[in-house]
C-alpha cells in the first residue's frame, strides 16, 4: 500500500499531472448568475448590479480588486454619457511575484440585438450568455483555483467594460461611429508600467458547438503564446482548439498588443456554426452554451498557468 502511494506520487511528479482540476459546472453557474441579472448593457440597472456581483466575487479570491472608472460620450448623441468600469484584480502581488500573467474578458453586453433575424428585436439588448458572460465565468473560476492552489507567478484579471458598444468592423474607424473595445483602449492608453509576460483574452468561448481556430492578430502579434496555448490544448486532447489561423478580429487583445503586451484572443467566430448565427441576437442565451465548452478552455488555461 505504502509503495503504491509512493509510485503514484512519483508518477504525478514526473508527468507534471498534479495540476488542479477546473470545474466546468461551477464555471457554468457563474455564466447563469450573470444572465439571471438580465442584460448588462452600459448605464442599465443590470450593468450596475453585475458590477457589484463581479466585484464581490473577485474580492473573495483576489488579493486586490480595483475599479477603473471612465466615461464615454456617444458619437451620435453627446447627451448620452456612458459610465464604464474596468475591474482589475490581482493574485500574488508584487514584489512577491514579479513574473505575471494577465487574463481578460469583457463583462458588458451589447445594448442592441442588431443581427437578430426579427427586425422588431434589433433595438433590444442581448442577454450575452456567450458574448460576455462565458469568458467572465471561466475567469471567476480560475481566480478561485489560483487562490486555493498556490502558484509561483502573479495572476492578474481584468474584466473590461464597454467592449460591445461598437458599430464598425475591421480597420475602418470613421470618427462618426462608436468603436468597440472602449474599456480596453482606456486601460491601454492609461497604462504606464504594467507589462505582464503575456495576456490571454477570452470571448465567446461558451458555445455548445465550440470551435477555436487561431485568431490572426494574435498569431501576428504573439505567436509564441499562441503556440504555447494550442500545443497544450493538443496535449490535453481538447478538440475545440484547432491550430489553423483564420479571421482577424478586433477585440480587447488589440489595444494590449498595441502597447507591447503579447496578447492572444481565444474566440469562437462561429456561433453556433457557419450557417447559423446567435451572435448579437436575442438567441444568445445560456441554453446555447455548455459546461463542457467552459471546461475545455478552463483546462487549457490551468495547464498554461501551472506550467509557468
Strand partners, 100: 154
Q: Does 131 bind Zn ion (CB under 5 A)?
A: yes
CB of residue 162 vs Zn ion: minimum separation in angstroms? 11
CB of residue 110 vs Zn ion: minimum separation in angstroms? 5
The smaller minimum CB distance to Zn ion, of residues 41 and 62, is found at 41
The smaller minimum CB distance to Zn ion, of residues 132 and 298, is found at 132
Stretch that binds Zn ion, among 10-18, 127-135, 136-144, 208-216 (CB under 5 A): 127-135
**Do residues 294 and 205 touch, judged by C-beta distance below 8 A?**
yes
The smaller minimum CB distance to Zn ion, of residues 31 and 233, is found at 31
CB of residue 131 vs Zn ion: minimum separation in angstroms? 4
- 149 to 168, contacts with Zn ion by CB under 5 A? 164
Helix axes 291-305, 223-235, angle to 10 degrees: 120
Rounded CA separation 286/161 (Å) = 21
Stretch that binds Zn ion, among 10-18, 26-34, 124-132, 226-234 (CB under 5 A): 124-132
Helix, strand and coil percent figures for the chain, each rounded to 5 = 40, 20, 40
Containing H/E element for 10? Answer: helix 2-15
The smaller minimum CB distance to Zn ion, of residues 58 and 249, is found at 249
The smaller minimum CB distance to Zn ion, of residues 135 and 196, is found at 135
Task: With CA atoms as reference, report the closest residue to 167 among 182, 189, 157.
Answer: 182
Task: With CA atoms as reference, report the closest residue to 291 among 36, 12, 25, 61.
Answer: 25
Q: Does 284 bind Zn ion (CB under 5 A)?
A: no
- 186 to 225, contacts with Zn ion by CB under 5 A? none
The smaller minimum CB distance to Zn ion, of residues 2 and 169, is found at 169
Cα–Cα distance list, 245 to 35, 42, 188, 277 (Å): 31, 33, 26, 21
CB of residue 111 vs Zn ion: minimum separation in angstroms? 11
Please report the DSSP string for 130-167 in residue order.
Answer: IIIIIHHHHHHHHHHHHHHS--SSEEEEEEESS-S---
CB of residue 237 vs Zn ion: minimum separation in angstroms? 30
**Do residues 154 and 94 touch, judged by C-beta distance below 8 A?**
yes
CB of residue 171 vs Zn ion: minimum separation in angstroms? 18
Size of site (CB under 5 A) for Zn ion: 2
Residues that bind Zn ion (CB under 5 A): 131, 164
Amino acid at each position: 500500500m505504502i509503495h503504491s502511494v509512493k509510485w503514484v506520487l512519483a508518477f504525478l511528479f514526473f508527468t507534471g499531472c498534479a495540476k488542479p482540476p477546473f470545474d466546468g459546472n461551477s464555471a457554468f453557474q457563474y455564466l447563469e448568475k450573470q444572465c439571471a441579472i438580465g442584460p448588462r448593457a452600459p448605464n442599465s440597472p443590470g450593468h450596475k448590479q453585475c458590477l457589484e456581483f463581479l466585484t464581490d466575487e473577485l474580492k473573495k479570491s483576489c488579493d486586490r480588486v480595483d475599479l477603473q472608472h471612465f466615461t464615454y460620450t456617444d458619437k451620435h448623441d453627446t447627451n448620452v454619457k456612458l459610465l464604464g468600469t474596468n475591474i482589475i484584480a490581482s493574485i500574488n502581488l508584487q514584489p512577491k511575484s514579479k513574473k505575471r500573467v494577465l487574463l481578460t474578458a469583457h463583462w458588458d453586453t451589447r445594448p442592441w440585438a442588431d443581427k437578430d433575424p426579427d427586425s422588431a428585436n434589433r433595438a433590444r439588448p442581448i442577454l450575452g450568455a456567450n458574448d460576455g458572460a462565458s469568458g467572465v465565468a471561466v475567469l471567476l473560476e480560475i481566480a478561485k483555483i489560483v487562490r486555493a492552489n498556490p502558484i509561483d507567478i502573479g495572476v492578474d484579471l481584468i474584466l473590461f467594460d464597454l467592449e460591445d458598444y461598437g458599430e464598425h468592423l475591421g480597420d475602418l474607424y470613421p470618427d462618426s461611429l462608436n468603436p468597440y473595445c472602449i474599456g480596453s483602449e482606456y486601460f491601454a492608453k492609461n497604462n504606464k508600467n504594467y507589462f505582464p509576460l503575456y495576456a490571454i483574452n477570452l470571448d465567446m468561448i461558451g458555445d455548445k458547438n465550440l470551435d477555436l481556430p487561431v485568431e490572426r492578430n494574435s498569431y501576428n502579434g504573439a505567436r509564441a503564446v499562441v503556440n504555447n496555448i494550442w500545443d497544450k490544448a493538443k496535449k490535453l486532447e481538447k478538440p475545440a482548439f484547432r491550430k489553423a489561423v483564420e479571421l482577424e478580429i478586433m477585440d480587447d487583445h488589440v489595444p494590449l498588443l498595441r502597447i507591447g503586451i503579447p496578447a492572444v484572443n481565444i474566440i469562437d467566430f462561429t456561433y453556433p456554426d457557419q450557417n447559423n448565427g446567435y451572435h448579437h441576437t436575442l438567441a444568445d442565451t445560456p441554453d446555447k452554451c455548455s459546461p463542457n465548452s467552459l471546461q475545455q478552455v478552463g483546462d487549457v488555461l490551468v495547464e498554461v498557468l501551472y506550467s509557468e
